[in-house]
Amino acid sequence: MTVDTRCRSQESYSMAKASKRKAQPKDVVQGVGTLAKSVDESFEYEHTRDWYSTVHYFNYPDTANMGKCIKCTHEDANRPSGLDVNIDMVEKQTKRLGIERDAPFLLYFLNSSLDEIEPLIHDKQTVDYLNTKGLHIFLYEPICSYDSMKVPDIWRDDLEAWLRAGKHIPVEDLKTHCRNPMVVHNFGFYTEFGNVMRDKRRHRAIELDSILRYTTMNGLTNVHVWSGDYDIEKHYPYYTDKLNLHCDDIFLLTFSYTENLIPKSGKLIKQGEHFEKRFISTNWRYTTSRAITSAVLSTKNSHLTWPYTVELDVMESTPWMCVNRELLLQHPAQYKSIVMGLAKCNAGAPWGIDLEFDGATPVEQCWGHVYPQTCKQVSSTSNPVYVNHLETPLWEYYNESFVDIVNESRYAQPTSNVSEKVFQSIQFWTPFVLVAPPLSLKYMRELGFKTFDKWWDESYDTERDHTLRLMKILKLIQWISELSEQQCVDMYEQMMPTLMHNIENLMSISMNNGMTHRMRSWTDSSMGIQ
Which pLDDT score is estimated for 4?
33
> DSSP per residue over 108-140, as a string?
E-SSS--TTTTT----HHHHHHHHHH-EEEEE-
Query: Is residue 126 pLDDT above 60, yes or no?
Result: yes
Query: Is residue 202 pLDDT above 90, yes or no?
Result: no
Cis preceding linkage at 350, omega within 30:
yes
Which pLDDT score is estimated for 26?
28
Which pLDDT score is estimated for 298?
98
* Selection from 449, 477, 451, 448 nearest residue 462 by Cα: 451
* Per-range mean pLDDT, top range of 386-400, 458-472, 511-525: 458-472
Which pLDDT score is estimated for 21?
35
In this structure, of 26-35, 238-247, 403-412, the range with the lowest mean pLDDT score is 26-35
Which pLDDT score is estimated for 40?
38
Which pLDDT score is estimated for 182?
56
Query: Is residue 471 pLDDT above 70, yes or no?
Result: yes
In this structure, of 298-302, 394-398, 438-442, the range with the lowest mean pLDDT score is 394-398
Which pLDDT score is estimated for 88?
65
pLDDT tens-digit profile of 291-340? 999 999 999 999 999 999 999 999 988 888 876 677 777 889 999 999 99
In this structure, of 255-269, 288-302, 353-367, 430-444, the range with the lowest mean pLDDT score is 255-269
Which pLDDT score is estimated for 473?
98
Distance CA 294, CA 284 (A): 11
pLDDT tens-digit profile of 89-117? 667 777 878 888 889 999 998 888 898 89
Answer with the residue of higher pLDDT: 47 or 389. 389
Helix (H), strand (E) at residue 504: helix 485-508
| 3-state SS track over 173-236 | HHHCCCCCHHHHCCCCCCCCCCCCCCCHHHEEEHHHHHHHHHHHHHCCCCEEEEECCCCHHHHC
pLDDT tens-digit profile of 210-221? 999 899 989 999
* Mean pLDDT, range 355-375, rounded to an integer: 90
Answer with the residue of higher pLDDT: 317 or 155. 317
Instruction: Work out the number of other CB atoms within 10 angstroms of the CB of residue 487.
Output: 12
Distance CA 72, CA 62 (A): 13
pLDDT tens-digit profile of 273-294? 679 999 999 999 999 999 999 9
* Mean pLDDT, range 122-140, rounded to an integer: 94
Which pLDDT score is estimated for 197?
67
Query: Is residue 147 pLDDT above 80, yes or no?
Result: yes
pLDDT tens-digit profile of 475-526? 999 999 999 999 999 999 899 999 989 988 887 776 543 333 333 333 333 3
With H, G, I as helix, E, B as strand and everything else as coil, classify residue 310. Answer: strand
Query: Is residue 408 pLDDT above 70, yes or no?
Result: yes
Q: For 18, which DSSP code?
A: G
Average pLDDT, the chain: 78
Annotated domain spans of the chain: 12-254, 277-524
